[in-house]
């Protein structure tokens, strides 16, 4: 198998491929542009109750996923691919990191449940923690799906219109300009005249100005990063 290889370690393999099985990602999966394998973590539990979690050392609420069980599961699949633990404590996922991952051989994704996983597993198996945003999900599976969706659409041949990736939000450090399509007038609102002018220089200029305006208004953090002299 060539192409991007994703291996997901989870207690809920039935959540996959889920949304990744339809539309562009699903077609690319069926055509072999990428592959997806799930590993049921519970298969690596050895006691008679097949326990995957236990009470937190030091007390407190919730349960923690056991390092011995997870360690065996990871060792079964580990190779040269980066190992990512989906985690709200992780570095926030960016389009730049998505691009890097899409250019690599694949990824091993660990999905947490309960309070999370034993810290020694993260350290001992060299996991990079990745967050998809400042909110708490009930498990890492939906985060893994989000991340794989972002990666897969960048793989060669997956997106029909290659150009559409290049002006997209974040690719240029700016949010994307607004879009319009027919009809020319809808509920009293008209498509901006410049977009109907056929003047491509003027159109590019307008789009650029709109992208800058939206970024300044909505994402001053991105704007400052792009224009460090304004800081």
Contacts with ligand SAH by CB under 6 A lie at 86-89, 111-113, 115-116, 131-133, 135-137, 139-140, 143
The residue number with the shortest CB distance to ligand SAH is 112
Where is 25: in which H helix or E strand? Answer: helix 23-31
- The closest of 138, 117, 150 to 34, measured between CA atoms, is 150
Q: For residue 33, give every residue at least 6 positions away whose Cβ sits within 8 Å of its Cβ, in sequence order, or none.
A: 3, 4, 152, 155, 156, 157, 158
Q: Which residues contact 175 (CB under 8 A, 6 or more apart)?
A: 169, 211, 214, 215, 218, 219, 222
Residue-by-residue DSSP string for 127-141: PEEEESSSS--S-HH
Nearer to ligand SAH, 29 or 144 (CB): 144
* Residue whose CB is less far from ligand SAH, 10 or 215: 10
**What is the closest distance, in whole angstroms, from the C-beta atom of residue 115 to ligand SAH in the complex?**
4
Question: CB of 142: closest distance to ligand SAH in angstroms?
Answer: 8
When the beta carbons of 143 and 151 are compared against ligand SAH, the nearer one is 143
* Closer residue to ligand SAH, CB minimum distance, 47 or 134: 134
Q: From CA 98, how far away is CA 181, in angstroms rounded?
A: 29
Nearest approach in angstroms of CB 63 to ligand SAH is 10
Nearer CB in complex with ligand SAH: 91/218: 91
Min separation Cβ 17 and ligand SAH, Å = 18
Q: Token match 């794989």: residue?
A: 148
CB of 64 to ligand SAH, least distance (A): 9
């Amino acid at each position: 198998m060539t192409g991007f290889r994703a291996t997901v370690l989870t207690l809920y393999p039935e959540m996959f491929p889920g949304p990744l099985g339809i539309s562009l990602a699903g077609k690319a999966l069926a055509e072999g542009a990428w592959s997806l394998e799930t590993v049921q973590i519970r298969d690596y539990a050895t006691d008679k109750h097949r326990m995957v979690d236990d009470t937190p050392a030091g007390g407190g609420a919730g349960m923690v996923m056991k390092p011995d069980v997870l360690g065996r599961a990871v060792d079964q699949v580990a190779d040269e691919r980066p190992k990512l633990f989906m985690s709200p404590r992780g570095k926030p996922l960016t389009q730049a990191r998505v691009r890097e991952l899409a250019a690599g051989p694949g990824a091993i994704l660990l999905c947490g449940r309960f309070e999370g996983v034993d810290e020694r597993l993260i350290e001992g198996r060299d996991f990079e923690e990745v967050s998809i945003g400042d909110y708490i999900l009930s498990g890492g599976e939906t985060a893994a799906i989000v991340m794989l969706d972002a990666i897969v659409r960048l793989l060669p041949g997956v997106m029909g219109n290659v150009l559409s990736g290049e002006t997209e939000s974040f690719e240029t450090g700016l949010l994307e300009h607004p879009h319009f399509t027919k009809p020319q007038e809808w509920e009293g609102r008209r498509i901006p005249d410049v977009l109907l002018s056929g003047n491509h220089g003027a159109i590019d200029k307008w789009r650029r100005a709109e992208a800058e305006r939206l970024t300044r208004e909505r994402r001053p953090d991105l704007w400052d990063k792009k224009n460090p002299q304004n800081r």
